[in-house]
Structure 1
């Protein structure tokens, strides 16, 4: 990567990844867009300070996480909303436009998965996103979030169990609860 990178190139190369990570941390489209823009400006401004260019992705994600944390602190009373179309864009959902039933089922499953991930605690959600969406190793997660690698492993294990339980409930709903909804 060149030391001097124009902003448009930086934007084209990294905006979608930045936005995806910001969205999973903030769980809000508008906040995620704010985070992505702020993070891009910081990256562009501070790129010359990065000594090891091979660590660019980790450095970039650390900036995104820090920006997201700042925005969440500032907006701690903000009411979060779900926007399924934006969620599908962020998740890069590729659906068959010719099958309305498939589209409906896919959107519902994506909404459920997003909701399950969003229900994780702040640290759990960050670790889960870094591990499964950004493909970080436990050491990279630990370095990025400044925690112990074994803590990251434990949290991923608990998060997976929680998501597995939620997916089990999605695919095998309790008939008693379904009766109460009718």
Structure 2
């Protein structure tokens, strides 16, 4: 899949969901990636050091993709559907496909399987805790750091 055709979905996703930052950009070799990401997310009264401490490494690409699918699919505040799960899953897959197997994934949130299953019979992820980075009541997202690029998908919602 070519990068340009893969990025076409970003504009559509931005208009459909509560993303405050949905971007892929070149990683500069001489720049600390945390500082670069810090400049892109609309962080509210949080220092760079606090931002670094709030990041939690996501254990694998599948979990990162599932978290992104959940963020695209449902509102953070009330779990109201923003876009159909199939479309959210496709967007998340395309976004994660842009990065290599060596990419590292981060979030400011921890996610747990909910105690019930969705209509497809799969466990749904539930936001269990987070270190707020924006002025919004709820915010979460994923940051993907690869050798040559960085991806940010960040969302917020009000209660």
TM-score, normalised to structure 2, is 0.33
> Which structure is richer in relative contact order (CA contacts within 8 A, separation 6 or more)?
2
Question: By percentage of residues, which structure has more strand?
Answer: 2
